[in-house]
A and B are shown apart, each in its own frame.
Chain A
Amino acid sequence: DQQVKQNSPSLSVQEGRISILNCDYTNSMFDYFLWYKKYPAEGPTFLISISSIKDKNEDGRFTVFLNKSAKHLSLHIVPSQPGDSAVYFCAAGYRGSTLGRLYFGRGTQLTVWP
């Protein structure tokens, strides 16, 4: 059962424009969310996170928005750069668990073209 879903397998955006990557989740117990970026032949690298007590977190060109009522979060990249081309994974977990386990979506391949 996929508790974290990324329904768009790919996204193509022109350089300088905004990239919006979406993620939905089904488990209402999740209370923190992370985005990871993955280049080919490398492991995922942490990008940005958000706690369920917030609805927005910003770090440079990257902003994550959380809509708890819709169980939806999105990652905005502004402006997009060719170096942002990678697979982006959404992940979620809950602090009530002592395990710190993360649940990952299938990923979205972002391509930023010049």
Chain B
Amino acid sequence: EAGVAQSPRYKIIEKRQSVAFWCNPISGHATLYWYQQILGQGPKLLIQFQNNGVVDDSQLPKDRFSAERLKGVDSTLKIQPAKLEDSAVYLCASSHQLTSGRKGNEQFFGPGTRLTVL
């Protein structure tokens, strides 16, 4: 079974520029998550999709971040314009159903995109 794919793996941009990240979840997984992991911290949820609908974007800085999951499969996360504090690893994860702790419903993570904003 193929895992969660993300691209690019690394991105360096200057502040005020725009950047986009792509995620392809595990086939058949209805739920998709984007996390931001700042150095030295744990992953923080930015947005969660159930199929192609948003179920939680309460932690997403909506003035500069946007995300979509067209057709309920792939997803893109965009930052426009980027700030220095956006430097982080952006992780995409997917799960078969809403994570409940039950075996089989855990979240599977991609390798992440490391963003550096200069």
Contacts and interface: CB of A to CB of B under 8 A. Distances in A.
Which of B31, B55, B106 has the most A CB atoms < 10 Å from its CB?
B106
Interface in B86-116: 91, 93, 95, 97-101, 103, 105-112
Interface stretch (B14-22, B35-43, B66-74, B76-84): B35-43
Contact of B55 (A36, A43, A46, A99): A99
Interface residues of B, number: 28
A95 B98 CA distance: 9
A105 B42 contact: yes
B100 A43 contact: no
Contacts, number: 71
Contact of B101 (A43, A49, A105): A49
A34 interface: yes
A107 B107 CA distance: 17
Contacts of A32: 100-101
A100 B32 CA distance: 11
B4 interface: yes
Interface of A: 4, 6, 9, 31-34, 36, 41-46, 49-51, 89, 91, 93, 95, 98-102, 104-107
17 contacts: A31-B101, A34-B106, A36-B109, A43-B93, A43-B111, A43-B112, A44-B109, A46-B108, A49-B103, A50-B101, A89-B42, A100-B31, A100-B97, A100-B98, A100-B105, A104-B44, A107-B42
For the complex of A and B, the 10 pairs showing the least CB-CB separation, nearest first, are A32-B101, A43-B109, A104-B42, A100-B98, A100-B99, A46-B106, A44-B109, A99-B56, A104-B43, A106-B42
Interface of B: 4, 31, 40-45, 48, 55-56, 91, 93, 95, 97-101, 103, 105-112
